[in-house]
Amino acid sequence: MKSWILKDIDQEIEKIFYPYVKIKSDTFSEYERKIEGFLKDFFCSIDYFKDHLEHFGAYKIENDPLKRSVSWAFIKGNGEDTVVLIHHNDVVDVEDFKILKTYAYSPKGLERELIKMKDDLLSEAQKDLESGSYIFGRGTADMKAGGAIQLALIKRYTEIKNMKGNILLISVPDEENISAGMRSAVLLLKELKEKYKLNYLMMINSEPHQRVNPDIGILSEGSVGKMMPLIYVRGFLSHIGKVFEGFNPLNLLTEIVRRTELNLELSDFVEGEASPPPTWMYIKDRKYHYDVSMPLSVGGYFSILTLDRDPAIMVEKIKKISEDAFSDVIEKMNEKYKIFRKKTNKPFENLPWKVKVVTFKDLYDEAYKNYEGDFKRDYDDLFKEIKDQVEKGEISIVESNFTLIEKIFEYIHDLSPRVVIALAPPYYPNVANIYFKEIDHKGKELSKKLIAYAKDNLNEIYEREHFYTGISDLSYSSIRNSKEIIKSLEGNMPLYGSSYAIPLKEIEEISMPCMNIGPWGKDFHKLTERVLKKDLFDKTPKLLHRAISILLDWED
């Protein structure tokens, strides 16, 4: 199995890991571009790439406000079979570090500081700190560790003479944001596939894995999907002294929130695995200054993780839940109104409100029916303006969605209360190897072989899961039902296809099984983020190298 490749690999990894962590590469910031320089220098220092300048580069992300690129390196061996290694090079910010911010990217210094305040840490973090078995720091686990392992292996692989198969390494920014890097990388994958006639066997990511049982490591053969339903509720304005003449949208939206938050009907269950139930991330009324009326409208969005279901089905479900919530709110309002009237000896009549829940597409179509070309022209003009603002980072994606919905309302005759359901970016398809009808036999047996290898050679117990639930760029390694997904995104995600694109057709063309093989890490995104040294320097590189050897048929 070309065992010389792994000789002193720990030193190779160490040389890459610490400088890689040192670069502050906060997601969606100009800092991410520093990584591109680092990787360029790294590839340029390797003889193979010096001789093959066309085999690595920085692939520009189109229309990116921060002008970022995807870094890549390709080792061309013999034949078509190709393994794709991906990792993300951005990290989340260090707000959590408070007074220790200056040490966030310097694991050794941070360790010294953490020891001084160890009594303030949670007991598990304290124990791990004292054990000396972990490396602490922003990005250590998530995921400069996995990145450094891949880079170290790539460097060694360039030394193989007459290598069987090909290896492509892709390092992307923006994973912690909306995966602009990976969505562009799909286009690069397609270009390289056509240029070199590649057969992509598998996409391997090296995100850190978490453990439920500390003795059992996890390999993932898929990745959870994610969608972000956006709910806009338009009420009917009234003075707060005349509440029964109005309809307060806050009342309805909060009812919808209650019924969707942690709602297990919106979780998927596949082969004994479950997607974590939905949670709300943002709610805001559309009132910009105080006055004595209720807000006219309010909006927010929540996140749904999926293992199986598509957006169209989820939107239907949310529609039904919203209708039930709407009807309940009206009923309760009527009950209170009845008592209110009775106590003042006035006759009672039901309030005029009716349940009305529509999708973004329904609302758009209604406005178009009313004003046709005039509406479309005005909408398109505003859309262009908004698109520019989004790309310049002057307006958030969510705010832009609300602005577009409000524009459409200008062309709607029926201004009675209603709920509008749309989808906000990002959208991550759910992917899993169990959904592949045909997988090359080497790929199909891979997790089984790796589990056996880990047990016999690394003295480690590993298990396989169908879905990585931490959300990862592996979501863009394949797609099912792309036609239906495109249809529901085109209709209900206002920014789809312009400011926010997912190359679904290209994903279909490059479609390949996937796997996550990464080190054990803890407390990602927190002050006590850490990675297990033993995995970083020893176990994970062996496991990853084994996987590549199996896939590319490298003999023992």
CB nearer to Zn ion: give 144 or 539.
144
CB nearer to Zn ion: give 143 or 296.
143
Q: Which 3-state string (H, E, C) describes 12-65?
A: HHHHHHHHHHHCCCECCCCCHHHHHHHHHHHHHCCHHHHHCHHHEEEEECCCCC
**Min CB(25)–Zn ion separation in Å:** 12
Q: Which residues contact 320 (CB under 8 A, 6 or more apart)?
A: none
Q: Which residues is 172 bridged to in the sheet? A: 88
CB nearer to Zn ion: give 32 or 255.
32
**Min CB(137)–Zn ion separation in Å:** 14
Between CA 140 and CA 389 the distance in angstroms is 34
Q: Compute how many other C-beta atoms are within 10 angstroms of the C-beta atom of residue 196.
A: 14
CB nearer to Zn ion: give 225 or 491.
225
- Residue ranges binding Zn ion (CB under 5 A): 142-143, 207
CB nearer to Zn ion: give 32 or 142.
142
Between CA 284 and CA 265 the distance in angstroms is 25
CB nearer to Zn ion: give 36 or 174.
174
Q: Compute how many other C-beta atoms are within 10 angstroms of the C-beta atom of residue 321.
A: 18
Specify burial of residue 225 (Cβ count, 10 A radius: 0-12, 13-18, 19+): buried
**Min CB(143)–Zn ion separation in Å:** 5
**Min CB(28)–Zn ion separation in Å:** 14
Measured over the CA atoms of residue 235, residue 238, residue 244 and residue 250, the dihedral's sign is: positive
Instruction: Fill in the DSSP letter of residue 289.
Output: S
**Min CB(31)–Zn ion separation in Å:** 17
**Min CB(279)–Zn ion separation in Å:** 19
CB nearer to Zn ion: give 114 or 143.
143
Residue 401 near residue 494 (C-beta atoms within 8 A): yes
Q: At what angle do helices 540-551 and 145-157 cross, to 10 degrees?
A: 50
Closest-CB residue for Zn ion? 142
SS3 431: strand
Place of tokens 């529901």: 488
CB nearer to Zn ion: give 12 or 207.
207
**Min CB(226)–Zn ion separation in Å:** 14
**Min CB(65)–Zn ion separation in Å:** 22
Q: Chain-centre distance of CA 10, in angstroms?
A: 30
